[in-house]
């Protein structure tokens, strides 16, 4: 797409204002609507009053405010990770890790549908990049067989944003040669998947010893910024070697305060996560029952890939007639002609869900 889509404004947590209409919003990544939670909004105000806006300096010079350490400690505790390192933008953790570990691997082996931030990060690793088939351990094994003695960094999303599928982490770990590591972009699963919301590692029930987990604070946590979860060696390498980390002003302080509140809130209140995961299972089952086939992926994401522009327009008309924003997107890695990406949240009402299912039922029949 060479132009931006029409503007829209989020209102009332599960609705948007678009072209003058109030429409149900089944899109975005604010799974628990933390971005509009009163406690988190309040934290932005108090953070601004208490701390001001910006430290206006790198953390390695004079910008190392105690709030950043408090946030990192609380994220490390949430994810049970040895260390968490704050990055000011959710796109940058993978790049920061790659700058920190440049020269440590003989090859980068990357899922062919990896997010752009992993693709960009790989350029900093100083080693050849080999792509393997999407979520395909057998193909990864084949690529590794052709690289005897390699020390690879396997790079993959944890939960894929286009369809809510999860990377087969356990299988990847079984294939990982000695001295290899996995860089897991867990932007979409962090705070969402697993019994405690710790992401794809918890979902797959694997240890974190050989995995660097990068996350964003902008999706399940509804705020902004990113984090790198890894061992002490990874953190030391970031502080010593990542130009992007060293030469950057950290997150504005009110956002750090909001992120801290959001992490604590999700840790103390698992109910929204449990509600959403249950809802996602129920909605997918209802859609299967009305004749819409869906694989059993863990994420609350339902992709619809139209076969023609006629079909696209038919869906758009039906959704608008039901007061639902057509979540039709063009996104890197997705189908070139665009597709509908429906995302459920813990805050949608039963009426909104029934309405959505009715559209699917009518479209599947028609």
Ligand X SMILES: Cc1ncc(COP(=O)(O)O)c(C=O)c1O
Measure Cα distances from 14 to 28, 205, 272 in Å: 10, 32, 14
Burial 208-221 (b: 16+ CB within 10 A, else e): bebbbbbbbbbbbb
Cα distance between residue 246 and residue 87, in whole Å: 10
Give the list of residues 6+ apart from residue 281 with CB closer than 8 angstroms, or none: none
Q: Is 24 in the site for ligand X (CB under 6 A)?
A: no
Cβ atoms < 10 Å from Cβ of 39:
12
Q: Pick the closer one to ligand X by CB: 165 or 216.
A: 216
Exposed, middle or buried by CB within 10 Å (0-12, 13-18, 19+), for 322? middle
CA 68 – CA 256 distance, rounded (Å)? 7
3-state class (DSSP) for residue 312: helix
Query: CB-based contacts of 366: which residues, under 8 Å, 6+ apart?
Result: 314
Pick 82 or 334: Cβ nearer ligand X: 334
Answer yes or no whether residue 202 interacts with ligand X by CB under 6 A: no
Select from 15, 32, 79, 91 the one that contacts ligand X (CB under 6 A).
91
β-sheet bridge partners, residue 108: 129, 153
Does 306 interact with ligand X (rule: CB under 6 A)? no
| DSSP structure string for 169-194 | HHHHHHHPPTT-EEEEE-TTTTTTSS
Q: Least distance to ligand X from the beta carbon of 97, Å?
A: 12
> Among residues 113 and 348, whose Cβ is nearest to ligand X?
113
| 47 interacts with ligand X by CB under 6 A | no
* Contact status: 251 vs ligand X (CB under 6 A): no
Half-sphere exposure of 306 (CA within 13 A, CB side): 21
191 binds ligand X (CB under 6 A): no
Q: Does 117 bind ligand X (CB under 6 A)?
A: yes
Of residues 30, 111, 185, 347, which one binds ligand X by CB under 6 A? 185
Residue closer to ligand X (CB basis): 47 or 225 = 225
- Measured from each CB, the residue nearest to ligand X is 90
Q: Which of 191, 163, 166 has the alpha carbon at shortest distance from 333? A: 163
Instruction: Rank residues 115 and 203 by Cβ distance to ligand X and give the closer one.
Output: 115
Angle between helix 350-365 and 271-289 (nearest 10): 20
Instruction: Pick between residue 216 and residue 345 the one whose CB is nearest to ligand X.
Output: 216
Nearer to ligand X, 158 or 315 (CB): 158
Find the part of the chain contacting ligand X (CB under 6 A) among 44-52, 62-70, 88-96, 203-211.
88-96
Residue numbers 207-226 binding ligand X by CB under 6 A = 216, 218
Stretch that binds ligand X, among 32-40, 83-91, 165-173, 312-320 (CB under 6 A): 83-91
Q: Contact region for ligand X (CB under 6 A) — 85-93, 97-105, 277-285, 355-363?
A: 85-93
Compute CA 63 distance to the chain's CA centroid, rounded to the nearest angstrom: 27
Query: Rule CB under 6 A: is residue 287 a binding residue for ligand X?
Result: no
Q: Should residue 242 be labelled a site residue for ligand X when binding is judged by CB under 6 A?
A: no
- Interface positions, 142-181, toward ligand X (CB under 6 A): 157, 161
125 scored as a contact of ligand X (CB under 6 A): no
Count residues near ligand X (CB under 6 A): 12
- Is the CB of 161 or the CB of 346 nearer to ligand X? 161
Using CB under 6 A, list all residues that contact ligand X: 89-91, 115, 117, 157, 161, 185, 187-188, 216, 218
């Amino acid at each position: 797409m060479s132009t931006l889509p029409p503007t829209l404004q989020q209102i009332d947590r599960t609705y948007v204002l678009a072209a003058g209409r109030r429409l149900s919003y089944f899109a975005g990544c604010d799974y628990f609507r933390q971005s509009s939670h009163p406690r988190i909004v309040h934290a932005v105000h108090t953070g601004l009053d208490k701390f001001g806006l910006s430290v206006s300096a790198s953390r390695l010079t004079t910008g190392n405010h105690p709030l950043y350490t408090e946030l990192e400690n609380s994220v490390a505790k949430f994810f049970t990770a040895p260390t968490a390192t704050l990055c000011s933008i959710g796109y940058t953790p993978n790049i920061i890790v790659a700058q920190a570990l440049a020269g440590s691997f003989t090859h980068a082996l990357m899922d062919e549908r990896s997010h752009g931030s992993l693709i960009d990060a790989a350029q900093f690793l100083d080693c050849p990049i080999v792509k393997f088939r999407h979520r395909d351990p057998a193909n990864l094994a084949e690529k590794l067989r052709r690289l005897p003695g390699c020390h690879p960094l396997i790079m993959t999303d944890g939960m894929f944003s286009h369809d809510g599928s999860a990377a087969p982490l356990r299988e990847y770990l079984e294939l990982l040669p000695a001295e290899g590591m996995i860089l897991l972009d867990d932007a979409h699963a962090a705070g969402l998947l697993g019994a405690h919301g710790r992401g794809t590692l918890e979902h797959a029930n694997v240890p974190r010893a050989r995995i660097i987990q990068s996350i964003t604070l902008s999706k399940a946590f509804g705020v902004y910024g990113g984090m790198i979860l890894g061992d002490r060696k990874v953190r030391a390498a970031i502080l010593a070697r990542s130009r992007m980390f060293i030469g950057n002003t950290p997150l504005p302080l009110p956002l750090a305060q909001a992120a801290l509140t959001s992490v604590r809130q999700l840790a103390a209140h698992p109910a929204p996560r449990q509600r959403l995961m249950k809802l996602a299972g129920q909605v997918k089952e209802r859609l299967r029952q009305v004749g819409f086939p869906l694989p059993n992926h863990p994420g609350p994401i339902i992709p619809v890939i139209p076969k023609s522009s006629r079909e696209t327009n038919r869906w758009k008309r039906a959704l608008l007639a039901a007061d639902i924003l057509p979540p039709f997107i063009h996104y890197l890695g997705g189908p070139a002609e665009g597709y509908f990406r429906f995302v459920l949240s813990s805050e949608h009402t039963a009426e909104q869900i029934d309405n959505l299912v009715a559209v699917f039922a009518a479209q599947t029949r028609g």
